[in-house]
Structure 1
Amino acid sequence: MASQHRRFTGTLALTAGLAVVGLLAGCSADAGPTSDNGFGFAAAEQDPDSSITVWVDAAREPIANAFKEANPDTPISIETYDGNAGGSDSFKTKIALFDQSGEGWPDVVFSTQTNDTSWAAKELNGTQAFAAPLNKGVLDDDFLEGFTAGANDPMTVDDAVYGLRNDLAPVVLWYNQKLLDQFGYDIPTTWEEYEALSDDLAADHPGYILGSVGDSFVGTYVYYWGAQAPIFQLKGDTFSTDFADDHSTRMTDLLDHMVDNGTLIQDSVFSAGFVDYADKLVATPGPAWYSGAVFQNPDNLNVPAGEIGAAAPLYWDGEDKVTGNVGGGVWYASSHSKNLDAVSDFLEFAISSDKAIELASGLPAYTDASDAWLATQAEGGYFVGDFEGSVNTAAGSVWNGWGFPSFSPETAYASVVVPGLAAGKSFAELVPAWETEIKNQAQVSGYTVK
């Protein structure tokens, strides 16, 4: 797809014997920043023949390959990595190595985490910020204005947009209408009704479930974020976590109650153990991308058409109707790139092209793509109920009290809660150690802990 933004090009002699640093190969050696060339930052001298290196996770590899096929004249190298999944910090670690060597940076990086801007937009070790501001000349305003309102807020610093949201991941309530009808249950609308349903299900239909707490993203983003629990907040350089807040304690109690009655299991939603519950999952809160990654996935639950629906998010009775958010990947462009024209072409293709809509497993962040994807899902006959309306409701209801520091809440959950639950401890018993681990990570990351 041809970009419509202004073209700024230059020349640069190629250097032989480039070093490759770390696991993945990056772009060619950096000659250092020159003028901004109309890009709004000290860009490298541009070379329209320079190959771009794109890092993607396995799920985004198809769209990168689609761009390569559609743009045979654009030199591109595609590398796969873990996508920074689970807050692994691999993205930051690898970039730090390239900063030290002064070369090797990739031109485009996809990350599953929405908090990487906190470090990628800052100068590190005397090297200019890795992430290029994209709204200063790299991309047209017309393109940038096409995103769903607020989608790029976590990647915006002082009015500069340092990353582009690939998809939105608001949490909805997924339900199996076939099972609800069979058992005579209504779709729960509040957390209280969800918990009450768990008691009925445990008493009358043991073995059937309402979700899992075995994934770090589920425990943190789905349940605690969705409950408005202020356990991960950031104001400036001050980080705070409050597990004693009423929203936090109520969610802790709810989770312990449902683990005890057997309606919340500890298997990861991507495990073989979870697949065994394909015909026993009555309902579960989960992100929009469960649509393709879990329910329609031949390697996961693979539920037949006409059974699964998405309802509006759960909320506390009498309180704001808000929800959590699970990721929603982000594309970053390198400020060291020598071919920002090709970078911008790639970003527009990966986010807004027909191929991007076709390959999307969840709700795209770009409005036109989102509308088309939702319409396709609704018309496809797979989902029951008002799928389109429920997802749109969730997308506009994400609680804004969650913070985006440079570290992920998933790592503390994975290191403390997951093994603790497996050892038979309750959430309430694990909260002190969990809170301490979060605070320790905040301090190590340089934040003042309140």
Structure 2
Amino acid sequence: MRRVCLTLPTHRACTGTIAAIAEEAADGAAEFGAEIHLLILDSSPAPVLAEHRQAVAALPASPGVTVHHLDEDEQRAFLREVATRSAGASADRLLELMLPSRVSYGACTNRAFLIAQALRCTSVHRRDSDSRYQYADGRPVFPLHQELTYLGQRADDVRQSATRSKLPPGSGDRRVAVAGGSFVGEMSVDVAEIRDLDPDTYGELVGLSLPEDCPEIWRNHLIDASFRGAGNGAFDRDHATLAPISPMRVDMCNIGFDHELYRRVPLPPAPDTIGTDYFLLHLTHDARLPGLQHNRHIVNFHTEERRTDAGFLAYQLRFAKFLLAKAYLNTVYARTAAAGDALLDTEGHITASTVAGFVRDSVSLDRTDVARRLDAVDRAYRRLGGRYTTVADALAGRRSRLLDEARDDMADFAHLMDHWEALTGASAEAGLAVTR
């Protein structure tokens, strides 16, 4: 029986999302005859964790669905065993990269990848705590349907079932490595305010995420499309495009990965940095691996925490770190784009050592560009004024540390990549006890 992992990483209250994702798991098990492992990776504070435990206990039993609700202590115990099996003396450093003390969008998904390996799953499907499902004809529209239909299948075998195909020549024998949709509804509340306050400053900041050699005509289009998702359209019927997926067209709250991808290459574990968890999307696109882009978009909403002063400051610092990280990541993406098919081995799988070499080489990047980016962010926030001045002051007070972290995060990523296949192998050997 096909085993898949539907995962919800969270560090905040989301009992409604837990109930909704359990319904998606039950629907997927019933429709596809699959064994669905619903994995909730919970880093919430104790009172919220207790609420989540009650919500999980209240879930109705569903045939084919097994629920795993792991707090950080339980995750740490599993990761320590796996790291010790695979790396011995380096276990402590790997454990810190897998479960850092600060928020890491890449690390939480990497933990899901390792646990999925332990559960012998063939795919990982990620949702987020601040998302809901669309409804059509009174029923929720679950992305898992499209993900399970296409993931891991030979592209030519499912070409006819897609609405359209834009596969590059010669890629039809390759397996579908990723399936994803976007979101509808509100764009990111944090950057939406910047756009509303000063569109030119918004364009300047978002433009820092793009490659410097991006043609002007494309630059303006990409800036306009960033953080916007799929707009406000409602689901009417399925539209599925079989093609290498652009990272701009899908969202990490609505994504599924085949195990042949994530068991070879992890995500950057950079803490307090948005956007770095899109690394595998860039990689599969550049390697011309088949993907499935669908329109079962998640409904985006924002928790009240994001609207508080503390939540605002935390996100803006993560956004600024993302703009610094892109100095390094864009050099890697330029090389993966140039390599194209050469990123793959003879069986059509990513060659992890090649990618690790690109990441390691980026660490030696001249920090002049990174410092220039930080200066540009500082000026932009001071121009916006108000509470953005507080952000600029916080960035200025951490300037040296931020520059060091942007470089060190890439070195940590290269180190994790060097050990990743040993970690995924050790996870498969360790297994995971069934919790429900």
Using structure 1 for the length normalisation, give the TM-score: 0.24
Higher RCO (Cα < 8 Å, 6 or more apart):
1
Using structure 2 for the length normalisation, give the TM-score: 0.24
Q: Which structure is higher in helix share? A: 2
Q: Radius of gyration: which is bigger?
A: 1
